[in-house]
Amino acid sequence: MLEMLTLFVNIFLKIFMIFTPFFVISAFLSLTKDDTPAERQRVALKVTMAVGLTCFALFQFGSYIFALFGITLDAFRIGAGAILFLSAVSMIQGRATVSAQDTKEDVAVVPLAIPIIVGPGTIGALLVMGAGLKTLPETIIACLALLCAVLAVGGLLLVAGRLERFLGQQGLTILTKLTGLFVSAIAAQIFFTGLKNFLG
């Protein structure tokens, strides 16, 4: 039981950090700055649904995708870790920015869900995590952790306006940089695990 709980917390925290929630909040506020609170809630719900569907598809079919293209899990770990690390560096250095759009087009799926939340680095990490699961109990726990991470990000988007007033833009920027540090550590772990297994 303790082992399953540890797995749940481990996967939840990794995925939650990889989603870069505080950068996502900044992007969400920027892209919906002219929307009413009700419109923002609708966008937040659509983002949550799009992210959930995308992530579960990647999580479940990662091993099949590797088999289809003849890619080993460890080779993909190296590539995914490198891409995720570059994304983390961009956040730490403050280069990851999103400008507000002038048009009233729907921003929920593109660009908020994809590629801001589920970008190349996130896709790679989800594929690696999903393909690395061995047993059915592990898969169930991992799926629950993924669901909770998606819902947590969705919940933050629903209260994004209040968070901005509480933390301020500078507070969100600081938290984004701290998230980038955690993501860089996760990326390094994925990369070096892949490299070690690949060379071993």
Residues 6+ apart with CB under 8 A from 30: 98, 99, 100
Total-model pTM? 0.93
Q: How many angstroms separate the Cα of 9 from the Cα of each of 5, 15, 16, 141, 162?
A: 6, 10, 10, 10, 27
Structure tokens at 135: 């047993």
> Residue 70 has what DSSP assignment?
T
For residues 182 and 86, give the distance between their C-alpha atoms in angstroms, rounded to a whole number.
Answer: 13
CA angle 11–52–19, rounded 5-degree value: 50
Helix (H, G, I), strand (E, B) or coil at 100: coil
**Burial of residue 71 (number of CB atoms within 10 Å: 0-12, 13-18, 19+):** middle
What pLDDT does 200 receive? 78
Q: Encode pLDDT of 48-105 as tens digits.
A: 999 999 999 999 888 888 889 998 999 999 999 999 999 999 999 987 777 655 545 6
Among 38-52, 85-99, 131-145, which is the least confidently predicted range? 85-99
Instruction: For CA atoms 59, 60, 66, 72, give the dihedral sign.
Output: positive
The pLDDT mean for the chain works out to 92
What pLDDT does 44 receive? 97
Residue with tokens 């039981």: 1
Structure tokens at 77: 């770990």
- Contact present, 59 and 142 (Cβ < 8 Å): yes
> Residue 101 has what DSSP assignment?
P
Whether the per-residue pLDDT at 17 is higher than 80: the answer is yes
Q: Where are the domains of the chain?
A: 2-16+44-96+115-199
Phi, psi of 107 (to 5 degrees): -105, 5
What pLDDT does 161 receive? 94
Nearest to 142 by CA among 19, 20, 55, 44: 55
What pLDDT does 65 receive? 87
Please give the average per-residue pLDDT across 190-194, as a whole number: 96
Among 39-53, 94-108, 132-146, 172-186, which is the least confidently predicted range? 94-108
What pLDDT does 67 receive? 87
